Amino acid sequence: MDMSLLPPELCEAERGFPAALQACGDLDALMRLKGAFIGREGSHAARMMELLKAAPKEQKRELGAAINALKGQWEESIRIRQAELEDAKRKQGALAQAWDPELPPPAPAKGAMHPLNRLMDRMVEVFRPLGYHVEEGPEVETEAHNFDGLNIPADHPARGSADTFYLKEHAELLLRTHTSPVQVRVMQRLAPTLEEKGGIRFLAPGRVYRKDEIDPTHSPMFHQVEGLLVGKGIGMHHLKGTLNYAMKALFGPKAEVRFRPSYFPFTEPSCEVDVRCPLCGGDGCRVCKGSGWVELLGAGLVHPNVLRFSGIDPEVWSGFAFGIGVERTAMMVSQTPDLRLFFENDTRFLAAMGGLD
């Protein structure tokens, strides 16, 4: 190109272009250089187009060819340099992610106990100072332990196949519908030495099964923590004092508890136990459905027929029992709207449940 056709400032820019291009160490610098040389406005290329418009007619042909050649040279050089910089950036990123065999292996993610298990352990710890220990029983139960021993009559709806999972091969066996059969088994085992031991007190945490449809508040498998105390002269005042203590230990010393009359075949009298909603303080919210109270457990004095079935004389001994729904408590404490989240193995959700300790 005949540089004599261009003014001195454009000639100087053309001579300095190769060095300026090479000095561009990243894409941002290259884009600034591109704007300065071939941008639409204020660039050297735009300046050359203004010269072409103002040039005499006889020079336009030669000057236009020279300008196009120079502009094309700049565009091609910038394109090549951009490809070089992009390739270098990719290689640098790949190098940063490359595995170094000399480095120690990454530490495995730290595991943790499931939040429902942590909550059950917390419930157990609340009752330990009162002398309660843990008892376990089989999840495949007999009708005798699951129903008969708990004063549940033969025509009770819970004994139907629509509500209970029966084993086809053994019609008398089923998946336990509550942890109460543990009460029957333990009382039968300890009845002969009851006088010597002076009574019974224990907790029975575990899984139970019912034919519920899966939805945000129901599951065919869930967890309960049941408690039983048998002694002499046990009454409702012992039950209320125990549960008042337990609820305050779980939800804080300011927790308010109320007892409402209810009915269960295995206790008489029976009651429902509510806690003043710890999330809204009783003002009403989504969790307590505007009532200010959350129903947490059922309880009552052990029915005489349950004691007789286990070989314990109800004229001498009495007791109380209670059962807490673990998932319901966990949902309330964590404000979780969907029960299924506890069983979907999403580690992000499970990690967020650390507050259930």
Q: CA angle, 332 as apex, 331 and 338 as ends, to 5°?
A: 30
Total Cβ atoms within 10 A of residue 307: 21
pLDDT tens readout for residues 32-50: 888 888 887 777 788 888 8
Stated as kind and residue range, the H or E segment containing 252 is none
How many whole angstroms separate alpha carbon 220 and alpha carbon 229?
A: 29
Residue-level pLDDT at 287: 67
Residue-level pLDDT at 294: 84
Residue-level pLDDT at 5: 63
Q: Per CATH, the architecture of 115-356 is what? A: 2-Layer Sandwich (3.30)
Q: Which residues contact 207 (CB under 8 A, 6 or more apart)?
A: 139, 221, 222, 223
In the block, which residue shows the tokens 């992000």? 348
pLDDT tens readout for residues 195-214: 999 999 999 999 999 999 88
Domain boundaries, the chain: 3-97, 115-356
Q: Is the pLDDT of residue 63 over 80?
A: no
Q: CA angle, 159 as apex, 158 and 165 as ends, to 5°?
A: 90
Q: Which residues contact 287 (CB under 8 A, 6 or more apart)?
A: 277, 279, 280, 294, 331, 332, 335
Q: Is the pLDDT of residue 1 over 70?
A: no
How many whole angstroms separate alpha carbon 14 and alpha carbon 36?
A: 12
pLDDT tens readout for residues 145-164: 999 999 999 888 888 888 89
Q: Which residues contact 118 (CB under 8 A, 6 or more apart)?
A: 356, 357
Total Cβ atoms within 10 A of residue 200: 21
